[in-house]
């Protein structure tokens, strides 16, 4: 008889499972290979020893040290002598060839990064379970790769990520899914007035800044073959600059640089071809106003964002100026809040 559960009114039937079916489950003729126990998680840490045991705690050298400076990779290192935990942070800025030299390339780079993350999903999840997290994003014309967590298996995870990016070949079914996801992300950009105001300010200040609405139009025209042809070109020339901080020795950091050199086959990207995030200098006394309607017509809130550029000093004076600016900001924050 058809029964009805009381909460949502869903109909269901109860019936006994035939003993013959239970017996076939108990002694199957064939087991589908897709049903298997998860693979061993190779990112579970086993070494929790501290690398700073031989370093005097009175050491006051607080600056990272450049330990690798080669045309292909530049790596900075700072061992932690403060927190004494078996964790590390490894940040890498990977400059690629022509990643945002055009509107079309910018969209293709976004597609590539999202497809690569999709390809690595299972690996990154296993590492995440073992408290070793990863972030991969597009910053200007560069790929930004971050690994942070227990240091023991960090180099192994980095090897797997770089090997996957080197052998990566997009699949058409995943391309369609990721393209749809990216289209949705572009459409949803600037729906909140606060983020919209910041977006408009950066669009005004940055030398290269491709508009998200224009990116949406280009995305609609891109095909799977466009991306397949773009990826080898994107990775053909590279330059890496990185920082290793935490429970990693200098030798371990140097070995991390060798992983890049031994895994990636791209040539060295010339200094001239590397994309620097340039910000326009607003003339003294200039007063620019951008007034744009909110993207969502149902949005009741408005935002005003006021930006005051502070003239940049050179060398150590710039650090002092930044400290004074931060101090000033902290002093006026409370009275400004009270006034508002």
- Domain locations in the chain as residue ranges: 65-273, 310-339
Selection from 47, 51, 45, 64 nearest residue 251 by Cα:
51
Least confident window among 56-65, 86-95, 171-180: 56-65
Check residues 53 and 185 and name the one with the higher pLDDT. 185
Could you tell me the pLDDT band of residue 10, with boundaries at 50, 70 and 90? very high
Could you tell me the pLDDT band of residue 284, with boundaries at 50, 70 and 90? confident
SS3 133: strand
H or E segment to which residue 248 belongs: none
| Confidence (pLDDT) at 20 | 93
Could you tell me the pLDDT band of residue 292, with boundaries at 50, 70 and 90? very high
Could you tell me the pLDDT band of residue 156, with boundaries at 50, 70 and 90? very high
- Asked if pLDDT for residue 312 goes beyond 90, the answer is no
d(CA 125, CA 198): 32
- Asked if pLDDT for residue 1 goes beyond 70, the answer is yes
| Confidence (pLDDT) at 259 | 98
Percent of the chain with pLDDT over 90: 79
Least confident window among 26-40, 78-92, 322-336: 26-40
- Asked if pLDDT for residue 60 goes beyond 80, the answer is no
Cβ proximity of 111 and 185 under 8 Å: no
Provide DSSP, 26-57. Answer: HS-S---TT--PPPP-TT-------TTTTS-T
- Asked if pLDDT for residue 275 goes beyond 80, the answer is no
Work out whether strand 87-96 and strand 237-246 pair parallel, antiparallel, or are unpaired. antiparallel
Quick one: how many helices (H) and strands (E) in the chain?
Answer: 10, 9
Could you tell me the pLDDT band of residue 313, with boundaries at 50, 70 and 90? confident
User: Highest mean pLDDT range out of 30-39, 155-164, 288-297?
Assistant: 155-164
In this structure, the number of other CB atoms found within 10 A of the CB of residue 244 comes to 28
With a CB cutoff of 8 Å and minimum separation 6, the contacts of 129 are: 41, 43
Cβ proximity of 86 and 151 under 8 Å: yes
Distance of CA 73 to the CA centre of its chain: 19
Selection from 79, 85, 89, 83 nearest residue 132 by Cα:
89
User: So what CATH class is 65-273?
Assistant: alpha beta
d(CA 50, CA 249): 9
d(CA 166, CA 116): 10
Least confident window among 120-124, 143-147, 305-309: 305-309
| Confidence (pLDDT) at 59 | 61
- Asked if pLDDT for residue 276 goes beyond 80, the answer is no
Could you tell me the pLDDT band of residue 39, with boundaries at 50, 70 and 90? confident
d(CA 318, CA 312): 6
Could you tell me the pLDDT band of residue 58, with boundaries at 50, 70 and 90? low
d(CA 316, CA 322): 10
Where does residue 132 rank: exposed (0-12), middle (13-18), buried (19+ CB within 10 A)?
A: buried
d(CA 134, CA 88): 12
In whole numbers, what is the pLDDT of the chain averaged over residues? 93
SS3 170: coil
- Asked if pLDDT for residue 160 goes beyond 90, the answer is yes
Cβ proximity of 211 and 203 under 8 Å: yes
Half-sphere exposure of 323 (CA within 13 A, CB side): 5
User: Highest mean pLDDT range out of 26-35, 145-154, 291-300?
Assistant: 145-154
| Confidence (pLDDT) at 269 | 95
**How distant, in Å, are the alpha carbons of 75, 78, 249 from that of 65?**
8, 6, 12
- Asked if pLDDT for residue 231 goes beyond 80, the answer is yes
With a CB cutoff of 8 Å and minimum separation 6, the contacts of 243 are: 64, 75, 76, 77, 78, 89, 90, 91
Selection from 40, 58, 69 nearest residue 271 by Cα:
69
């Amino acid at each position: 008889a058809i029964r009805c559960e009381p909460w949502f009114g869903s109909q269901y039937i109860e019936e006994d499972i035939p003993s013959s079916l239970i017996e076939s489950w108990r002694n199957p003729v064939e087991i589908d290979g897709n049903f298997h126990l998860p693979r061993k998680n190779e990112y579970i840490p086993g070494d929790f020893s501290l690398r700073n045991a031989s370093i005097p705690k009175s050491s006051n050298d607080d600056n990272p040290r450049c330990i690798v400076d080669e045309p292909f990779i530049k790596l900075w290192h700072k061992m932690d002598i403060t927190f004494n935990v078996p964790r590390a942070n490894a940040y890498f800025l990977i400059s690629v060839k022509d990643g945002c030299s055009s509107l079309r390339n910018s969209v293709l780079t976004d597609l590539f990064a999202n497809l690569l993350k999709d390809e690595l999903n299972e690996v990154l999840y296993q590492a995440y379970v073992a408290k070793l997290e990863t972030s991969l994003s597009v910053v200007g014309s560069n790929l930004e790769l971050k690994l942070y967590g227990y240091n023991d298996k960090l180099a192994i995870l980095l090897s797997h990520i770089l090997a996957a990016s080197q052998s990566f070949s997009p699949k058409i079914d995943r391309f369609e899914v990721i393209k749809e996801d990216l289209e949705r992300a572009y459409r949803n950009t600037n729906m909140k007035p606060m983020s919209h105001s910041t977006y408009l300010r950066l669009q005004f200040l940055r030398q290269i800044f491709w508009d998200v609405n224009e990116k949406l139009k280009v995305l609609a025209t891109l095909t799977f073959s466009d991306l397949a042809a773009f990826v080898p070109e994107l990775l053909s020339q590279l330059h890496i600059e990185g920082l290793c901080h935490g429970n990693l020795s200098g030798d371990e950091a140097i070995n991390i640089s060798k992983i890049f050199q031994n895994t990636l086959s791209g040539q060295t990207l010339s200094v001239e071809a590397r994309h620097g995030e340039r910000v326009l200098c607003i003339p003294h006394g200039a007063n620019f106003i951008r007034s744009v309607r909110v993207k969502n017509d149902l949005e009741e809130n408005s935002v005003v964002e006021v930006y005051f550029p502070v003239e940049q000093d050179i060398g150590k004076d710039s650090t002092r100026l930044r400290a004074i600016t931060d101090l000033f900001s902290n002093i006026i924050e409370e009275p400004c809040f009270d006034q508002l």
